């Protein structure tokens, strides 16, 4: 699975789980999910469980707190690296 | 002079490994790989230097670089007072032991979900037997290590705290049940208070009643935010209750040795939480996850829960989360068990049977932050009535920790974990 494909699946999850309107022009894969209020502190737990279940990866805490873990593109890149390292 | 400096005291250790209590904060060679319970240590002198934290992250330990050295403390506010910017503070990762001089690190085995296979009824019974045996062994060891200590039991009258009361009665000579309720001008006491009174009478012990009014309760808020290391309402509200209990227990114990026993943790282990509704809004929302995933998320989130040990420690009281060493047993429960609505009732009956009166088994569950079927009468309702909502708690935590932008706190706690990294001295040291 490529990073782009991971991003596709992740975007689909975020849009569905966190009810992002299809007409939301602000939303994109490079948008900051937490700062912009798309995902709250409870939602991030759901996101983490999704990453574990869907991509069979366990995110180390440093990745969870990184700048990269704030956009769909960034999270997809992290997941891609973790999968490649297995 | 050591380049590793500990500011303030560590949380008291009540670790458990190999059937023995682990209380020493001097952990030469590091803690055992099978460590459970609340534990953190800082040994600063090479070549036996070690910094470690238990795998659930029950005891807190934070660090920051200090020139070429390291500053450590069980509370971020102490590091802030020493001049460390909040953004530089990280937790020692739960379940790790590291020599900060060499960087050599090893993991303490984390509890993982290993559900039992086979007949579910037998599996639950087997887990309950093992669980009770572990709790008995732990309490026996606690009493041996603290033979003259009075056991104060934080008693809400729910199944978990009533279980702790029964354990305390089995293993300690002097036991004092302690009950919290908010003072109110009219109306009956809370359901928690009424149940605690009934239980105290049932076991023939006087009940220490802690009934602060709103101002007395909220006077502890800053303490709670600093010592609880959290701003999230569900933890702050519970910590306010514990802070009030701590004040009363500290007054009652005088200079006598004591342990404060709490029934914390089975709610996480057994996913026994629900959101609360008040004024048309939802509070204490839970992640929307299947039971097994939610269980792991809640257990993982204990890394950032200090609502018991923190506020009780503010009164110099050693708090023991009695169920802490039993996490592996809970995670060994069969898959279907977490889906049962009567799971806690069933497990408690297997462990304590008729020693717990029937009215405790059959009473509706109430959270410590609420204490009553009428949600608005509890700490949650009080805080909201005073305008102390979630954004206000976040702002106050930020002020107390000299954080300019409260939004940046999301990079300190995320998904139930503190920002963390292994402490290590830099090359420049």
pLDDT of B263 > 90? The answer is yes
Strand pairing category for B319-321 and B258-262: parallel
pLDDT tens digits, one per residue of B28-43 = 677 888 999 999 999 8
| A36 contacts chain B (CB < 8 A) | no
Give residues with Cβ within 8 angstroms of B88, minimum separation 6.
B64, B65
Residues in chain B: 429
Q: Which of A43, A49, A61 sits opposite B93 (nearest CB)?
A: A61
For A25: left if phi > 0, alpha if psi spans -120 to 50, otherwise beta; the answer is: alpha
Average pLDDT of every residue of chain A: 94
Domain limits of chain B? 4-110+414-418, 120-388
Over residues B258-278, the mean pLDDT reads 95
Over residues A26-32, the mean pLDDT reads 95
Q: Which of A46, A52, A62 sits opposite B288 (nearest CB)?
A: A46
Neighbours of B416 (CB within 10 A): 23
In this prediction, residue B421 carries a pLDDT of 94
How many CB pairs below 8 Å do chains A and B form together? 48
| A35 contacts chain B (CB < 8 A) | yes
In this prediction, residue B427 carries a pLDDT of 56
**Local confidence band at B428 (pLDDT 50, 70, 90 cut-offs):** very low
**Local confidence band at B429 (pLDDT 50, 70, 90 cut-offs):** very low
Q: Pull the structure tokens for residue B388.
A: 């102390």
Å from A59 to nearest chain B CA? 11
Q: Longest C-alpha distance within chain B, in Å?
A: 65
Over residues B334-354, the mean pLDDT reads 94
Question: Rounded to whole angstroms, how far apart are CA atoms B309 and B265?
Answer: 12
pLDDT tens digits, one per residue of B44-72 = 887 778 999 999 999 999 999 998 899 99
Helices A41-55 & A72-85, crossing angle to 10 degrees? 40
Average pLDDT of every residue of chain B: 93
pLDDT tens digits, one per residue of B192-210 = 999 999 999 999 999 999 9
CB A48 to CB B413 under 8 A?
Answer: no
CB B421 to CB A62 under 8 A?
Answer: yes
**Residue B158: DSSP 8-state:** S
What is the ipTM, given to two decimal places?
0.88
Å from A32 to nearest chain B CA? 13
Residue whose entry in the numeric block shows the structure tokens 């459970």: B36
Question: Rounded to whole angstroms, how far apart are CA atoms B419 and A44?
Answer: 14
SS3 content of chain B, % helix, strand, coil (to 5): 40, 15, 40
In this prediction, residue B45 carries a pLDDT of 81
CB B289 to CB A43 under 8 A?
Answer: no
**Local confidence band at B364 (pLDDT 50, 70, 90 cut-offs):** confident
Q: Which CATH architecture has domain B120-388?
A: 3-Layer(aba) Sandwich (3.40)
DSSP states of B73-105: ESSHHHHHHTT--GGG-EEPPTTEEE-TTT--E
| A30 contacts chain B (CB < 8 A) | no
Do B276 and B283 form a contact (C-beta atoms < 8 A)?
Answer: yes
Task: Domains for chain A: give ranges and CATH numbers.
Answer: 3-21+29-85 (1.10.1200.10)
pLDDT tens digits, one per residue of B387-421 = 999 999 999 999 999 998 888 898 999 999 999 99
The candidate with the shortest Cα–Cα distance to A16, out of A42, A46, A57, A41, is A46
**φ, ψ (nearest 5 deg) of residue A72:** -60, -45
In this prediction, residue B371 carries a pLDDT of 65
- Return the SS3 of A74: helix
**Local confidence band at B127 (pLDDT 50, 70, 90 cut-offs):** very high
Q: Which of A17, A35, A46 sits opposite B407 (nearest CB)?
A: A35
Q: What angle do CA B322, B327, B330 make, to 5 degrees?
A: 110
pLDDT tens digits, one per residue of B288-306 = 999 999 999 999 999 999 9
Over residues A62-83, the mean pLDDT reads 95
pLDDT of B5 > 80? The answer is yes
pTM score = 0.94
The alpha carbon torsion through A73, A74, A79, A84 (nearest 10 deg) reads 90
A36, A49, A53, A58: best mutation site toward chain B, by most B Cβ within 10 Å? A49
In this prediction, residue A13 carries a pLDDT of 97
Q: Which of B287, B407, B414 sits opposite A65 (nearest CB)?
A: B414
């Amino acid at each position: 699975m490529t990073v782009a494909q991971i991003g596709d699946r992740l975007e689909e999850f975020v849009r569905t789980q966190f009810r992002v309107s299809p007409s939301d022009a602000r939303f994109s894969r490079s948008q900051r999910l937490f700062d912009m209020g798309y995902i709250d502190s409870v939602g991030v737990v759901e996101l983490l469980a999704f990453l574990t279940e869907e991509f069979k990866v366990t995110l180390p805490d440093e990745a969870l707190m990184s700048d990269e873990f704030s956009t769909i593109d960034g999270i997809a890149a992290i997941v891609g690296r973790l999968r490649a390292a297995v | 002079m050591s380049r590793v400096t500990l500011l303030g005291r560590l949380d008291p250790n009540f670790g458990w490994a190999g059937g023995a209590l682990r209380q020493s904060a001097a952990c030469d060679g590091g803690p055992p790989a099978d460590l459970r319970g609340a534990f953190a240590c800082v040994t600063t002198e090479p070549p036996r230097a070690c910094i470690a934290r238990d795998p659930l992250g029950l005891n807190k330990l934070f660090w920051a670089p200090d020139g070429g050295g390291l500053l450590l403390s069980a509370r971020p506010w102490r590091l802030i007072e020493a001049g460390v910017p909040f953004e530089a503070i990280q937790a020692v990762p739960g379940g790790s032991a590291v020599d900060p001089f060499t960087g050599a690190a090893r993991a303490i085995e984390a509890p993982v979900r290993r559900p039992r296979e086979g007949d579910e009824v037998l599996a639950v019974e087997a887990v309950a037997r093992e669980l009770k045996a572990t709790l008995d062994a732990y309490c026996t060891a606690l009493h041996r290590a603290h033979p003259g200590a009075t056991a104060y039991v934080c008693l809400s009258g729910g199944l978990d705290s009533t279980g702790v009361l029964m354990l305390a009665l089995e293993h300690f000579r002097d036991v004092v049940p302690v009950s919290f309720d908010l003072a109110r001008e009219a109306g009956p006491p809370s359901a928690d208070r009424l149940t605690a009174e009934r239980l105290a009478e049932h076991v023939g012990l006087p009940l220490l009643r802690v009934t602060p009014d709103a101002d007395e309760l909220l006077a502890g808020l800053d303490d709670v935010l600093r010592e609880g290391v959290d701003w999230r309402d569900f933890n702050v509200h519970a910590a306010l209750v514990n802070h009030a209990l701590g004040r009363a227990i500290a007054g009652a114990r005088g200079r006598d040795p004591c342990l404060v026993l709490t029934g914390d943790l089975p709610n996480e282990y057994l996913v026994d939480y629900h959101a609360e509704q008040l004024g048309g809004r939802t509070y204490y929302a839970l992640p929307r996850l299947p039971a097994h995933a939610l269980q792991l998320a809640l257990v993982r989130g204990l890394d950032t829960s200090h609502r018991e040990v923190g506020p009780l420690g503010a009164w110099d009281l050693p708090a023991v989360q009695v169920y802490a060493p039993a996490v592996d047993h809970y995670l060994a429960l069969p898959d279907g068990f977490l889906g049962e609505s009567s799971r806690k009732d069933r497990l408690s009956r297997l462990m304590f049977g008729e020693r717990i009166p029937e009215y405790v088994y059959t009473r509706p569950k109430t959270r410590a932050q609420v204490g009553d079927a009428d949600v608005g009468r509890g700490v949650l309702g009080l805080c909201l009535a005073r305008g102390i909502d979630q954004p206000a708690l976040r702002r106050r935590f930020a002020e107390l920790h000299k954080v300019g932008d409260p939004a940046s706190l999301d990079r300190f706690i995320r998904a139930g974990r503190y920002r963390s990294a292994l402490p290590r001295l830099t090359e420049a040291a």
